[in-house]
Each structure stands twice: as C-alpha cells, then as structure tokens.
Amino acid sequence: MNILHISAECFPVAKVGGLADVVGALPKYQTLMGHEAKVAMPMHKTNFLFEHQWETVHKSHLFSNGQKFPFTIIKAQNHNLGFELFCVDVNGLLDREKVYGYEDDHFRYLIFQLAVLEWLKSWHHKPEIIHVHDHHAGLIPFLIKHGVDYSPLKNIRTILTIHNAQYQGWMSKDNLMYFPTWDEWKTGLLFWNDQINSLACAVKCADGVTTVSPTYMKQLSFESNGLEDLFRQEAYKCRGIINGIDEEVWDPATDKHLDVHFQKTKIQPGKQQNKLQLCEHFGFRVELPLFVFIGRMVDDKGGDLLPAAINQAFVKHPGKMNVIVLGSGNPNIEKTFERLCDIHPAHYRLSISYNEPLSHKLYASADFLLMPSRVEPCGLNQLYALRYGTIPIVRRTGGLNDTVIDFGDPNGFGICFNQPSVEDILHSINRALELFGRKREVNALRKKMMNINHGWQESAKEYIELYQQ
C-alpha cells in the first residue's frame, strides 16, 4: 500500500512529545512490512534541517483569502529514517524554531494542510491512505471529501489517529474566509459548540478513527474535553491501537547514548554500572533507590502533584532515596520543582530541559519511573522503562492501564495506583521503597519486564488491517 502520514512532529526531525516518536517509528515498520510509507510535516528550523541534505521536489503556490502563499516541498537525502520524509516550507509561517506556541498556530497549520493538498494533486500515483495525526492535520479529511478544489483526491481514504484529545485546534468562524471553496451543505461538519474544531471535524469526516490505546478510546466517550457526545456518536468507526516503541532506538544492548550496554541475560550488572556512572555524575550514593520523572511539567502529567509527593517522601524517609527530574512545561510548576533543590540538596537533582541523551541514561540507570498522569492516551515512557528494566510507577489511566500490571497482581511487574493525588503517589513511593529492599524480587521483575514485547511489529500490522478494511 501507498501511505502518507501527515503530522506536525516526527522524531528525530522535530519532537515535543510522544506524537513525534509514533510518527518517526510507525512508517518505518510499515515500510519494513513491504508497504510504501511516507511522512509530510512542516519545515521546522531544527538541527535536523541543517545537518542533512535536501532535494526540492515541488514548488507551487496557493491562495487563501485573496493572498498568495508560495510553498516548497523538500525531501530529505542521506538519512537512515527508514521512510521518505518530506517537509513543507511556507516562508515566514512554517520555517520557525518551535513546533507550537505562536499566536497564529491555527493559521500556520491551516496553510500547511492546504499546501500538502495542493502538492498531492500533482502526484501521478496518489496514496491509497492518508493517515493524519491530531488536529494539526485534522481538516484534511473534510477538504478531501468536500473541498471543491480537491476532487482529484476524493478516492483517497483517510485515517485519523488521536494522540491527545485535549487539544482540538479551535478557531473562530471568522477564519472561514481563509478556507478554500467547499460544499456549503457540509459546513456543519467543521463546527462543534459553535466554533471551528479541527479535531471534531476529523472525527466526523475520516473513514476510520484510532487512538493510541484501547482504554483511552473508551475514556473519550466520557472524558474528551467537550467531545464526549461526538465519540459516542462515531463509536462504530473508532478503535484503540496501543502504541509500540522503536526497538532499534530504544535498546539497552546498542543504545548510542549509553557508555555501558546490557542485555536481558545480564540485567543487574548492566543497570548497576549505568547507575554508578549516573550517581557519580550527580553526587548521589549509588546504594539508594533512584526515582526519576521524565516528561512535561503540566497538570495532565500530574506535574502539579509530584513536587509535594516527592517532598513528603523525603520527609518521611530522610536520606533513604534519590530523585532526578527531567522536563519542562508550565512555568509555575517548574518553580515548584525548583524549590525542592534548596530543600533537599543532597538527594534531589533537576534539569529543566529537553535532553534526549540524558533521558536514555535515566531509563538505563533508574530503579523506578514516576508517571502520575491525569491524562495519558498511551504513554511511551513506561514502555521505555520496561525495555530498560526500570519499574514504572503509574496511575491507572489510558495506555498506562493497558501496559502496566501491579506487581501484587498475577503476572504483575509495576506499581499502580488509582487516584491522581499526592496521597496515592506517596503510598506508591512507600511501596517502591519496601520493594527495593527485596533484591531477588526486584531482579525477577526486571527480567519479566525486559521480556515483554512492545515493539511496533504487531501495532503496525493492526494499522495495515485497518487500512485494508
């Protein structure tokens, strides 16, 4: 099959969250299965752009509200992504350093989608499937079906994958002036709650809708930031497919970011050597349990709860644990993490940044990973932790519920809790500290975790089956 993925992010080109990891891996594994998978994304000004060679494959222009927008499609050369990568350049709109965070983001991504569709009209062999990811590409299914200018694309089937339904691409009706001509009888498909809603539009118009775990798919019918009724209405075409991880990138036996590699057969000495290196770097005692948090410091990830839970754990267990936090996000939440540096200088370290090499080292070295998420559509961090023999501490929600079983249950290996609260997080840390003292049990759990297969092979097959349907 000929498949085109359209996304705002793609690892390693530009990454904000798990969306990038999925779009950077799924097409590669589809290609390995014998399909022709490609990715189209905006031309963000990232290191990847300047470190690789590019070929211009298409130049054209589009009109929006009487204004002419020239655009260029460039194709990556000399890379090892495993699929063809195309970037869309619209001067002044898409060629920016940040993926999101600009006041005109809704307009930027509208023009991006229009440029992709104009380019697609020129293809001799058009894709059989266009797979759009999140609201940034959510208007494409509507425009393919009902846009007057895009009739050559009408036979292409569209799939939407929702990575996070909290963000929906809202726009006021005033923005309709920037849309190309469409069948006005279908205007209602663009709206939800009296405003343009790109994600809702995609749910209505795509031929199939997936999200990144079965539990999250169920949750959307009663918790989806205002779209609950819509997901109940469209349930017949909705399906949860759990994410995989790229086992070539995330492999402790070959990881380019690790100085000491280890395999399933020698987990304990490998993790211990990595932990020793990390603890020497941060000035920690290696014999203490090491807890880490890696991710965005936002309410959805439980970032507002975690500092208080960590502080109470330090008070209750003085000198008995170390904690490293890596991430960034809400400035107010960042400050609460920063305050812990002064309160617990001997056992706490913080890096407010995006640091891919350090994240790999943390997974390889840590004893426990903290994931107290309020919302976690799938979650990849817990899968990386399992791959590296690090016990995940997770709240039972979304994909965390689908991928982590409490060690107290049959066949369990992680630590799970139910409520997004300081008390539940603290109770889970207490359980972890007790577990850490039982070395033989910890080693058995690590062996069990590292033998779980969370690669993309099975998930990629599920997507192909969906495309064929």
Tell me the whole-structure pTM to 2 decimals. Answer: 0.91
Report the number of distinct structural domains present in the chain: 2
Instruction: Flag whether 364 is in a domain.
Output: yes
Residue 308, amino acid: A
199 and 333 co-located in one domain:
no
Instruction: Flag whether 322 is in a domain.
Output: yes
Instruction: Flag whether 256 is in a domain.
Output: no
57 and 16 co-located in one domain:
yes
282 and 221 co-located in one domain:
no
104 and 185 co-located in one domain:
yes
443 and 461 co-located in one domain:
no
pLDDT in tens, 107-133: 999 999 999 999 999 999 999 999 999
pLDDT in tens, 147-198: 999 999 999 999 999 999 999 999 999 999 999 999 999 999 999 999 999 9
Report pLDDT for 78.
83
463 and 443 co-located in one domain:
no
366 and 432 co-located in one domain:
yes
Instruction: Flag whether 254 is in a domain.
Output: no
Report pLDDT for 17.
87
Instruction: Flag whether 114 is in a domain.
Output: yes
Expressed as residue numbers, the domain containing 149 is 2-244+457-468
Q: Which residues of the chain have pLDDT under 70?
A: none
312 and 444 co-located in one domain:
yes
438 and 463 co-located in one domain:
no
Q: Can you give the chain as a three-state secondary structure string?
A: CEEEEECCCECCCECCCHHHHHHHHHHHHHHHCCCEEEEEEECCCCHHHHHCEEEEEEEEEEEECCEEEEEEEEEEECCCCCCEEEEEECCCCCCCCCCCCCCCHHHHHHHHHHHHHHHHCCCCCCCCEEEEECHHHCCHHHHHHHEHHHHHHCCCEEEEEECCCCCCCEECHHHHHHCCCECHHHHHHHEECCEEEHHHHHHHHCCEEEECCHHHHHHCCCCCCCCHHHHHHCHHHEEECCCCECCCCCCCCCCCCCCCCCCHHHHHHHHHHHHHHHHHHHCCCCCCCEEEEEEEECHHHCCCCHHHHHHHHHHHCCCCCEEEEEEEECHHHHHHHHHHHHHCCCCEEEEECCCHHHHHHHHHHCCEEEECCCCCCCCCHHHHHHHCCCEEEEECCHHHHHHCCECCCCCCCEEEECCCCHHHHHHHHHHHHHHHCCHHHHHHHHHHHHCCCCEHHHHHHHHHHHHHC
231 and 370 co-located in one domain:
no
Instruction: Flag whether 58 is in a domain.
Output: yes
The CATH number given to whatever domain includes residue 35 is 3.40.50.2000
Instruction: Flag whether 77 is in a domain.
Output: yes
Report pLDDT for 468.
96
219 and 235 co-located in one domain:
yes
Report pLDDT for 79.
81
Instruction: Flag whether 259 is in a domain.
Output: no
pLDDT in tens, 359-389: 999 999 999 999 999 999 999 999 999 999 9
85 and 199 co-located in one domain:
yes
